[in-house]
Amino acid sequence: MTSSDPSGHTAAPANASDSHGLRRSPLHDRHVALGAKFAEFGGWEMPLQYSGVIDEHTAVRNAVGVFDVSHLGKALVAGPGAAAFVNACLTNDLDRIGPGKAQYTLCCEESGGVVDDLIAYYYADDRVFLVPNAANTGAVVGLLAAAAPAGVTVTDLHTEYAVLAVQGPESAALLSSLGLPADHEYMGFVEAEHEGVPVIVCRTGYTGEHGYELLPRANYAEPLWDALLGAGDALGVRPAGLGARDTLRTEMGYPLHGQDLSREISPVQARSGWAVGWKKPAFWGREALLAEKESGPARRLAGLESLDRGIPRPGMAVLDADGAQVGVVTSGTFSPTRKVGIGLALLETASGAAPGGELTIDVRGRRSRVRIVDPPFVPSHVR
- The pLDDT of residue 232 is 84
In terms of Cβ atoms closer than 10 Å to its own Cβ (0-12, 13-18, 19+), residue 371 is middle
C-alpha distances out from residue 146 to 21, 108, 141, 150, 154, Å: 27, 15, 8, 11, 9
For the stretch 181-225, pLDDT in tens is 999 999 999 999 999 999 999 999 999 999 999 999 999 999 999
Q: Could you give the CA distance from residue 12 to residue 217 in angstroms, rounded to a whole number?
A: 6
Residue 193, pLDDT score: 97
pLDDT for the residue 340: 98
Distances from the Cα of 147 to the Cαs of 77, 289, 295, 306, in angstroms? 12, 20, 30, 46
The β-bridge relationship of strands 189-194 and 75-78 is: unpaired
Q: Please state whether beta strands 237-240 and 299-306 pair in parallel, antiparallel, or not at all (unpaired).
A: unpaired
Alpha-carbon distances, residue 329 vs 249, 355, 381 (angstroms): 16, 16, 26
Q: What is the pLDDT of residue 20?
A: 76
Residue 355: φ, ψ to 5°: -50, 135
- What is the reported pLDDT for 246? 98
pTM for the model stands at: 0.95
- DSSP letter string, 134-203: GGGHHHHHHHHHHHPPTT-EEEE-TTTB--EEEESTTHHHHHHHTT----SPTTBEEEEEETTEEEEEES
CA distance 375 to 302: 8
For residue 107, what pLDDT is reported? 98
- The pLDDT, as a whole number, for residue 16 is 52
- Listed as ranges, residues in the chain with pLDDT below 50 are 1-4, 9-15
Give the model's pLDDT for residue 182.
98
Write phi, then psi, for 340 (nearest 5 degrees). Answer: -150, 155
